Amino acid sequence: MSSKPYDFLIVGAGLYGATFAHRATRDGLRCLVIDRRDVVGGNLYTTKIGEINVHAYGPHIFRTSDKTIWDFVASLVEMKPYKHQAMSLGADGVYRHLPFNMHTFSELWGVKTPEEAKEMLDKQRADAPENPMNLEDQAIAMVGRDLYELMVKRYNEKLWGRPCANLPSFLIKRIPLRFTYDNNYFADEYTGVPVGGYNHLFEKLLAGVEVRLGVDFFEHRQELMDQARHTIFTGKVDEYFDYRFGRLDYRTLRFEHEVVNKPMAQPCAVITDNTTDHEYVRICEHKHFDFQNADAPTTVLSREYSVEYTDGMEALYPVNDIRNMAIYARYHDLANRELNVTFGGRLAEYHYYDMAPIIAKALKDYDTVLDHLQ
């Protein structure tokens, strides 16, 4: 037994850190979880506005085709199956269905069969480059010029604060393309939301774990690290290394929440905005996720404004363009040399993760770290 009071210092009470702590605690190891925020859950934190559970940092739908990961989450909290539906307000002011499917193609071009839709798409893609190198080229190669201009371009430029021609192509590969009349946004086998919000999930993940909130790791860095055999760091990797190679770029969101005095305000949970009339990128109605308060007489809309991250904000999205990835490669090399520190999560790895992959990554990293500790 080590003389140190903890086996793991876990910096960050988000999904990666909480999952790691849960697994280690289950094995009888001692964990200290710290977070500079005053709540656990990271960007999955659920707050309450009136009677409605609100996803404080934007809507999160848990989805996976990995039964092991789904069963892991479902063993902790009640998961309500949920089919996510979204629409887009196009650059021309017309609402159309997402993801791109036969409803979308019919609304735009008047086509009625998959064959007609594919023929039109082939014409639309005619000027696309063979090897797309950026988001604009990739989008046109996937959905053609019309859909790119109406339903992709302005949304992504507002979201990322950069021209689509300067954004990496992989960002657009997350948008499904279907030739059926199916508005279910995700094709994963398991899709759901915890009943009552994600806070219940974190209560279970962190049960029996010592958690200290409102603690800034960087103000007490050496003192905290000296108390544990190994550190799990989930914060910004460039901050950990004192910005030695310069600052990485992140995007964040500003939210405007509105209580509306009607049972429902939107036909679906999310409407993205591709117009220049509005600065926000999308509107979310949380009641579509809120199974416990479906009969409430009011609803909550959240408008999301994408802005460039500055100190004091919450860094939500890494900007994985060529410049930033070159900088991150140097930080990644330093991280690999930190023998008693594991870097995990969206900010520490400068990588966009959905929820199921981050759980899988935390569990895998735990097994790897445990092998080195024993």
Q: Which residues are catalytic?
A: 174, 178, 251, 282, 304, 352, 354
| Cis preceding-peptide flag for 168 (omega within 30 of 0) | no
Q: Is 140 helix (H, G, I), strand (E, B) or coil?
A: helix
Supply the DSSP string of 310-372, one letter for each residue.
-TTS---EE--SHHHHHHHHHHHHHHHT-TTEEE-STTTTT----HHHHHHHHHHHHHHHHHH
The answer to whether the beta carbons of residues 260 and 297 sit under 8 Å apart is: no
d(CA 170, CA 75): 33
Other Cβ atoms less than 10 A from the Cβ of 182: the count is 15
Question: To 10 degrees, what angle do helices 114-124 and 102-109 make?
Answer: 70
d(CA 371, CA 364): 11
Other Cβ atoms less than 10 A from the Cβ of 300: the count is 23
Contacting residues for 92 by C-beta, under 8 A, at least 6 apart: 150
Closest listed residue to residue 359, CA positions, set 54, 66, 36, 77: 66
Strands 52-55 and 46-49, bridge-based pairing: antiparallel
The answer to whether the beta carbons of residues 269 and 284 sit under 8 Å apart is: yes
Half-sphere exposure of 186 (CA within 13 A, CB side): 16
Compute the residue count for the chain: 374
d(CA 258, CA 264): 13
